[in-house]
Amino acid sequence: MPPGADVAGNIDSVRRRIAAAAQRAGRSPTDIRLVAVSKTFDALLVRDAASHGQLSFGENRVQEGAAKIAALSDLALEWHLIGHLQSNKAAKAAALFAWIESVDSVELLQRIDRAAVEAGTRPSVLIQVDLAREVTKHGATQDRVSDLVQAAAGLQAATLRGLMTVPPIPERTDDSRQWFQRLRQLRDDLVSAGAAAESLRELSMGMSHDFEVAIEEGATIVRVGTAIFG
Ligand SMILES: *Cc1c(COP(=O)(O)O)cnc(C)c1O
């Protein structure tokens, strides 16, 4: 463990902040899932977090995630893939990750579903939305999202659960708020237009620097790395 890392203390502190933000928004803290983002951190730190009751973890690379999943297979952990997924790694991801949060094309969605059928897994998927149309960002542009939602109705093994976004790096914490509001609005618009509410219940938004703002704006999943692992 790096000197000074107090994973258990950090988890407690993040959980307290989640509860406070939920309370401000009149929401229940139990409606918010904390995904501890363990990318670049050692499996031993994940084990440490798990012994403190943290069971959901996020990785942004299939390969790195696969190694940790294997090293920690004695624990009942829930793994989320939160990074860009290349289609040639879709089969591996569908076999290993309970959640794939970074689906950004109909082709990738269908590839994951076919792989999940073969692997006998039932991954939950989120559509990653690139709201700001940043050239450096992955994700479906807003106008493509309804195609993905429609395609999800035909899935056999994978299940669409909602939307995910990574907004532009904010100068001030509150800069993220408009993007979180837009993701929620996009979800509400899709449901108004006839999409099944159940398939869009989850909003994965908010990281170490802005998860409280995200919760105020309706996040059901927050992805927190540095505030937990240092
Ligand atoms: C790294 C990462 C996070 C966590 O970021 P922190 O700032 O360390 O909390 C969340 N989401 C995605 C997609 C990431 O790549």
Distance separating alpha carbons of residues 131 and 181, to the nearest angstrom: 11
Work out which ligand 1 atom sits closest to the CA atom of 164: 13
Q: Which residues contact 98 (CB under 8 A, 6 or more apart)?
A: 78, 79, 80, 123, 124
Distance separating alpha carbons of residues 149 and 209, to the nearest angstrom: 29
The 10s digit of each residue's pLDDT in 71-84 is: 999 999 999 999 99
Task: Answer whether residue 3 shows pLDDT above 60.
Answer: no
29 CB-contact burial (10 Å; exposed 0-12 / middle 13-18 / buried 19+): middle
Task: Answer whether residue 8 shows pLDDT above 50.
Answer: yes
- When pLDDT is averaged across residues 143-156 and rounded to a whole number, the result is 97
Distance separating alpha carbons of residues 229 and 211, to the nearest angstrom: 15
Task: Answer whether residue 1 shows pLDDT above 70.
Answer: no
For tokens 């939160």, the residue is: 82
Nearest to 37 by CA among 79, 95, 84, 92: 79
pLDDT confidence of residue 172: 87
Distance separating alpha carbons of residues 179 and 44, to the nearest angstrom: 35
What does the mean pLDDT of the chain come to?
96
pLDDT confidence of residue 174: 86
Does 82 sit in the ligand 1 pocket, CB within 6 Å? yes
pLDDT confidence of residue 125: 98
Coil vs helix vs strand at 22: helix
| DSSP 8-state assignment for residue 20 | H
Distance separating alpha carbons of residues 102 and 98, to the nearest angstrom: 13
Does 138 sit in the ligand 1 pocket, CB within 6 Å? no
**Percentages of the chain per state (helix, strand, coil), in multiples of 5:** 45, 15, 35
pLDDT band at 133 (very low <50, low <70, confident <90, very high): confident
Residue 147 to residues 40, 154, 159, 165, 175: CA-CA distances in angstroms?
34, 12, 15, 17, 29
- When pLDDT is averaged across residues 192-221 and rounded to a whole number, the result is 97
Task: Answer whether residue 198 shows pLDDT above 50.
Answer: yes
pLDDT band at 149 (very low <50, low <70, confident <90, very high): very high
Task: Answer whether residue 170 shows pLDDT above 90.
Answer: no
CA-nearest residue for atom 6, ligand 1, is 225
pTM: 0.96
- When pLDDT is averaged across residues 59-71 and rounded to a whole number, the result is 98
User: Hey, which of 60, 134, 205, 209 would you mutate to test ligand 1's pocket, going by the most ligand atoms within 8 Å of its Cβ?
Assistant: 60
Task: Answer whether residue 2 shows pLDDT above 70.
Answer: no
